[in-house]
Amino acid sequence: MNNNGELDFIFEHLVFLSNRDLWLLLAETDNVTILQACQRADDVILIRIRSVFSKTACDYFNDDLSKFWMTSDEEASRARRRMVRIFHKLYRRGILKDWNLLYAA
């Protein structure tokens, strides 16, 4: 928690979400934002995101991800910040529950 009582969630912490909560976060995030946020992301993050997809959805994700190679660092950062805002909104509403800040320390 930060000084404001808010969770210090960053994009990279999505690896610590339960499958359920990760799926809910991805479902609330538009595909373009997800794809932009994943540009130049660590393989651990990409593997974690793919882990909640079916084989077919994973194939589509990989194909779409390869089409976003022109995403700038600024666009990727903006997309990651959007996903963090979505996380905070869902967390404050009590929708995301299975996330533990201790694992991210």
pLDDT surpasses 70 at 1: no
Tens-digit pLDDT profile for residues 17-63: 989 999 999 999 999 999 999 998 999 999 999 999 999 999 999 99
pLDDT for res 100: 59
| Residue 85 binned pLDDT confidence (cut-offs 50, 70, 90) | very high
Domains delineated in the chain: 11-104 (1.10.220.30)
Burial of 72 (0-12, 13-18, 19+ CB in 10 A): exposed
Is pTM beyond 0.95? Reply is no
